[in-house]
Amino acid sequence: MHFTLYQNNNRLFIPVGLFLLLTAIWFSGCKHDVYIDPDKPPTTSNQCNADTVYFQNTILPLLVSNCATSGCHDKGTHKEGVTLTDYASIINSNIISLSDPTSSKLYKVLREGGDDRMPPSPAAPFNAEQQSLVLKWIEQGALNNQCIEGADSCDTTNVTFNKSVVPVFEANCYGCHSQPNPAYNIDLKNQDDLARIVEDGSLVGSVKHLAGYSPMPKGYNISDCDIAKIVIWANDTTFSGGGGGGGNPDPCDPDTVYFQNSVLPLLVSNCATAGCHNQTSHKEGVILTDYASIINTAKVKPGNPSGSKLYKVLFGGDMRDDDIMPPPPASPFNSDQKKIIYDWILQGALNNSCDGGCDSTNVTFSGTIWPLMQTWCTGCHTGTNAGGGVHIENYDNLVVIANNGRLMGSVTHDPNYVAMPKNADKLSDCQIASIRKWIDDGTPNN
């Protein structure tokens, strides 16, 4: 293609086609030249906007925890000239394009596979949600921004490990302190490691950046609200065995409701009975014998107890009297039992469990045996319709089946007896050992 420039009355004229081409070239050459000031201090908002991705709150923790590690993109290593420890270093690494966010090297390496993806194997790659956060932050201008919610918006009234602590660890800590190469040999997903640093005070000391402790996360502070949650949980949690967890793989958090330990026994014992909500009867299509069936058929909405049918039928509310569960003549759930279901749903309706440090040596009727019976047995074995005609309503009832061998035969799933708990797995070895010891000791009412 040939263009001719011509002059008329001492003025230079450029054909329209050439002008448009030159303009396009000029703009295309400048589209990556949008300047970002690396030294601009953070702008702070006193309220967090759900539609905004904040660098200090979200992006920096993601990058520091997963990428700014020794041998990769910390200040000492700065692999390939890229340092991801702070805003200025990230901007100066020339890995962000405001004109074309999807072409930003920071975003591209998170999406790539094989040897080029970041973080490199064996570290876990960024998931789709994390990748989306990075892209959205760039699309919003790659700002050095942060938000600090007021103290009145920080919920520390119902602190649990799964709801309150794990999200903080996921955002700030797991990237460095998890397998395959946990920093300082501290794997926060390993309960023994976690127990050790809780009990010796180093977890709280590190997140508060106290003198004498290695400050964590490195390079920035987590929010006062997140620190408060960790401190409350650490002070409120007892790890069985001591000395780094004592080998206990999953200690119980006293503020967490565990499905396998508390919720399933309640429902199996009181509701998943013949003619009601077991696998065979599945009255009104509801099955309450296992986690998947409970979530799906009882219409459980994690985090929303009042919107969950399971909770509605326990509390009544706008339900008809004949819809309330368990139906008469069975006893309704008491307030403590209702709270267990409520809190479990509120905490996310997780399929969780824990080893509560079962003690099969110091066994008493009131402290060990009767709580087991109330959790697993009394729901079926009380009242005029007691299952199998077996009553477990008090100490005297229980002694009868303990002395005739029926109790041990049932809980050990001896083929000569009806397996109990019905429609559920056996009690744990420790629980069975506790019942055996109580019987061997002469079934004391202590």
SS (H, E, C) 235-282: HHCCCCCCCCCCCCCCCCCCCCCCHHHHHHHHHHHHCCCCCCCCCCCC
Question: Who has greater pLDDT, 278 or 323?
Answer: 278
pLDDT, mean of residues 419-432: 77
- Output phi, psi for 418, to 5 deg: -75, 125
- Output phi, psi for 308, to 5 deg: -100, 130
Question: What confidence score (pLDDT) does residue 427 get?
Answer: 80
pLDDT, mean of residues 239-260: 58
Residue 203 pLDDT exceeds 90: yes
Amino acid code (one letter) for 282: H
Report how far residue 124's alpha carbon sits from residue 216's, in angstroms, rounded to the nearest whole number. 21
What share of the chain in percent tops pLDDT 70?
78
- Report which DSSP code applies to 25: H
pLDDT, mean of residues 127-149: 89
Report how far residue 143's alpha carbon sits from residue 57's, in angstroms, rounded to the nearest whole number. 12
Highest mean pLDDT among 171-180, 207-216, 371-380, 417-426: 207-216
Report how far residue 176's alpha carbon sits from residue 64's, in angstroms, rounded to the nearest whole number. 9
- The 3-state DSSP class for residue 137 equals helix
pLDDT, mean of residues 428-439: 88
Read off the tokens for 178: 């998890």
What share of the chain in percent tops pLDDT 90?
13
Provide the mean pLDDT of the chain: 78
Read off the tokens for 274: 């013949």
The Cα angle at residue 213 between residues 208 and 214, in degrees rounded to 5: 90
- Report which DSSP code applies to 369: I
Bridge partners (DSSP) listed for residue 145: 43
Q: In this structure, which long-range contacts are made by residues 426-431, counting pairs with CB atoms below 8 Å and at least 24 apart in sequence? A: 427/372, 427/376, 428/358, 430/358, 430/359, 430/360, 431/358, 431/360, 431/372
pLDDT-derived band at 439 (thresholds 50, 70, 90) equals: very high
Read off the tokens for 344: 């479990």
Residue 13 pLDDT exceeds 60: no
> Does residue 326 have a cis peptide bond before it, meaning omega lies within 30 degrees of 0?
yes
pLDDT, mean of residues 135-139: 94
Report how far residue 271's alpha carbon sits from residue 266's, in angstroms, rounded to the nearest whole number. 8
How far out from the chain centre does Cα 57 lie?
18
Report how far residue 63's alpha carbon sits from residue 72's, in angstroms, rounded to the nearest whole number. 11
Read off the tokens for 364: 């008493």
* Tally of CB atoms within 10 A around 4: 8
Residue 19 pLDDT exceeds 70: no
pLDDT, mean of residues 33-40: 81
Report how far residue 1's alpha carbon sits from residue 188's, in angstroms, rounded to the nearest whole number. 66
Find tokens 């702008």 and name the residue.
43
Task: Please choose, from the candidates 298, 271, 275, 274, the residue with its C-alpha nearest in 3D space to the C-alpha of residue 285.
Answer: 298
**What number of residues does the chain have?**
446
Residue 110 near residue 125, CB atoms below 8 Å: yes
Question: Who has greater pLDDT, 252 or 174?
Answer: 174
pLDDT in tens, 280-308: 666 778 888 788 888 888 898 888 888 88
**pTM for this structure?**
0.46
pLDDT, mean of residues 356-361: 70
First and final C-alpha spacing in the chain: 102
pLDDT in tens, 70-109: 677 877 777 888 888 888 889 999 999 999 999 999 999 8
